[in-house]
Structure formats: structure tokens, C-alpha cells
Amino acid sequence: MHRLMSVSLAFAMMASLGCIRPEGAKKTLSGQELYAACASCHGETGAGNASIAAPNIAGLPAWYVEAQLAKYRSGVRGYHPEDHEGLRMRPMSRQMMDEAEVKAVSAYVATLQAVKAAPSIQGGDATAGAGQYAVCQACHGDKGQGLEATKGPPLAGQYDWYLVSQLKKFKGGLRGTHPLDTTGAQMRPMATMLADEQAMKNVVAHIATFSR
């Protein structure tokens, strides 16, 4: 319990630091300037940091990053009291002063060189996961490349632990239950189709076979 409280306090401190604007800064900062606060968790290259549950965001399309920042800023995502990572992101998203800055940092993230995260979860069956992924490809693409038309983000190259954690959040109601989260609401029933953690590992193991 003490360790959990310490970690939560550390997250809160990092989030609060990210919300401090440089003294005398111009009204609209560049995407690169704004990303300096994001780098404390996601790294300068956007590759993420497993030790603090920060996902790989390098090269994610601007439309997806912009949409998620909008969700965090409005409280549509990161509102559940058990979504610790989401709660950490909410104040970070509010470092942007307006929509122009949201667009700027989203565009900058999209320019970062995409990297494929190395697998870390053991016990997944990629062959079994291939069949389970069939329902995912309508929104995320046949190779996990993501589809803007369906607002389904790229999955290829993302950390396997992060994908499993998000599936658990959708299935458990930590994500996708806000009345205004229309895309999250579409994802929830997909997650509930996975019977257990093993099924989640299987589909994520299949996603790990895709090239970023």
C-alpha cells in the first residue's frame, strides 16, 4: 500500500510539473516545445517507458493523438478513479492552452520515428489470437495499421503489456463507459468478447507479429 501511494504521488508530481508553462512563453508554443513535458514519461523519441506504464506513441497519426488529448482534456477519458494512468494524463493534456496547441503537439508526435516495441509478455498463442483478431481488423486494419475512417488507432508496434492493460480497462469499465466516448463505447463489447486474460494475451501475441 505504501509503495502504491508513493508511485501515485510521483505520478501526481510529474503531472503537475508538466502543467507549468515557461514564464513569458508566447501564447502558442510549437509542437516540439510542448512535447518537452510529454518526454518526461514517453521519452524524447516517444518510445515510452514500461516502468511508469507510458506507452509507445512515436509515429502515431496526428488525428488519433489529437482525439485522445481532447478526450483527456474534457474528462471523457481518464475519469475513472481506478484508471491511474488515465488520471495522470488528464492534467498533462491540459498543459496545452488551446486547440491550436493540441494540434501542434499531435502533429509533432506523428513526425517521431516509429519503433516496434519488443515483446515482454509470455504465454500468448499467436495462432489462436489470429482468429480472435478477425473482429478487430474492421477498425484497426488487417495488419494493425489503424484506420482513420473508423477512428481505430494503429496497434502494430505497440507494447504488448500496454495492449493487454487497455483491453482489461475496456472490459472492466475503466474505459469506454463515459456517455460521450463514442469510439470507446464501440471498443468495450470487443474487449468483453475476450473470455479471459489468456485470450487477451493470444490476440496481442498475434498483433506482435505485425510490422510497424
Q: Please tell me the number of Cα atoms within 13 Å of 29 on its side-chain side.
A: 20
State how far the alpha carbon of 139 is from the alpha carbons of 80, 131, 136, 154, in Å.
Answer: 25, 15, 6, 10
Interval 103-117: pLDDT, tens = 999 999 999 999 888
Rounded Cα gap, residues 81 and 163, in angstroms: 20
> Going from the N-terminus, what domains does the chain have, and what CATH number goes with each?
2-111 (1.10.760.10), 126-207 (1.10.760.10)
Q: What does the pLDDT read at residue 23?
A: 56
Q: What does the pLDDT read at residue 176?
A: 97
Q: What does the pLDDT read at residue 115?
A: 85
pTM of the full structure = 0.86
Interval 40-66: pLDDT, tens = 999 999 999 999 999 999 999 999 999
